[in-house]
Amino acid sequence: AEEMMIRSEKMSVAGQLAAGIAHEIRNPLTSLKGFLQLLQAGVNRKDAYHKIMVDEIEKMESITSELLFISKPMTEHKEMESLSEMIEDVVTLLKPQARLKSIEILMGQEINQDVKCDRSQIKQVFINILKNAIEAMNDPGCIKISSHLRKEEILIDMIDEGPGIPEEVIHKLGEPFFTTKQNGTGLGLMISQQILERHEGKLEILQNVNTGSTFRVILPLP
Ligand code: ADP
Ligand code: MG
């Protein structure tokens, strides 16, 4: 049953990302079509056009390859992974969705740290939290990601400018199916907590008075 829930959440993550992804892929496609028509008309700036076309194709390539990991099964492969790389991947994936709401995702200084983890699972945690942050924000603004070291662990803070979490709701977060959203699954935080537990890490929620919430992922250092 647990596996089923995890799988259905993954589908819904993919499903909810679809609008943003479609938008992000349609733009390069439109541009490619235009350049193909120009080339067909026999223009003389072929090389410049080729370069732009390859760039557009690469953009679509990275988006689609990011999507693939969501459909992978839930097996654990822990390896040394670069934290900054994982976060950059996730930010690339979520940027289209953020852009639709005029939200910027800002990364603090380079997080130069490797952690031993299952790459796709830890990326899933960042996706779940950042997606919630985007969904919580009703106005344009930014989501900040920062990290620092504390003893034998690394702390990654994701700070949004949403309305924050009401006191009476905060203890329910992470309960399966607890959602305040019309189309929510209420599984994202639960799955994130489970993944972090399997990594001897944890998830903390800090309230910022008047300025939204901070979700803090804690992972042990190797
Ligand atoms: P879902 O996103 O499907 O509702 P989650 O488990 O991801 O499920 O989140 C559960 C609930 O936690 C959300 O419905 C929302 O009420 C609350 N929540 C999570 N992240 C935030 C956030 N950044 N700001 C405000 N509320 C949040
Ligand atoms: Mg969610």
Q: What is the pLDDT of residues 8-53, one digit of tens each?
A: 454 455 555 565 567 668 888 999 999 999 999 888 888 888 989 9
Kindly indicate the confidence band of residue 2, based on its pLDDT and cuts at 50, 70 and 90: very low
ipTM: 0.99
Which pLDDT belongs to residue 194? 83
CA of 12 from ligand 1 middle (Å) equals 14
Q: Is 164 left (phi over 0), alpha (psi -120 to 50) or beta?
A: left
For ligand 1, mutation pick of 132, 172, 187 (most atoms within 8 Å of CB): 132
Cα distances (Å, whole numbers) of residue 122 to 12, 154, 164, 168: 17, 13, 24, 28
pLDDT digits (tens, 9 = 90+) for 86-118: 999 999 999 999 999 999 999 987 777 899 999
pTM given for the model: 0.72
User: What does pLDDT average to over the chain?
Assistant: 83
Tell me the C-alpha distance between 130 and 160, whole Å.
9
Tell me the C-alpha distance between 9 and 17, whole Å.
12
Kindly indicate the confidence band of residue 84, based on its pLDDT and cuts at 50, 70 and 90: very high
Which pLDDT belongs to residue 6? 47
Which pLDDT belongs to residue 19? 57
Cα distances (Å, whole numbers) of residue 218 to 16, 40, 107: 26, 54, 17
Question: Exposed (0-12), middle (13-18) or buried (19+): which is 172, by Cβ within 10 Å?
Answer: middle
Tell me the C-alpha distance between 113 and 111, whole Å.
6
Kindly indicate the confidence band of residue 77, based on its pLDDT and cuts at 50, 70 and 90: confident
Cα distances (Å, whole numbers) of residue 67 to 23, 37, 61, 208: 14, 30, 10, 32
Tell me the C-alpha distance between 154 and 214, whole Å.
15
Cα distances (Å, whole numbers) of residue 10 to 83, 100, 192: 22, 22, 12
Cα distances (Å, whole numbers) of residue 147 to 20, 21, 144, 154, 211: 27, 28, 10, 7, 19
| Residue where the block lists tokens 């999507």 | 67
CA of 24 from ligand 1 middle (Å) equals 25
Please count the other Cβ atoms lying within 10 Å of the Cβ belonging to residue 72.
Answer: 11
List residues near ligand 1 (CB under 6 A): 128, 132-133, 136, 160, 162, 165, 173, 178-181, 184-190, 213
Kindly indicate the confidence band of residue 1, based on its pLDDT and cuts at 50, 70 and 90: very low
Which pLDDT belongs to residue 23? 64
Highest averaged pLDDT of the listed ranges 22-26, 141-145, 189-193: 141-145
Which pLDDT belongs to residue 65? 64
- DSSP letter at 140 equals S
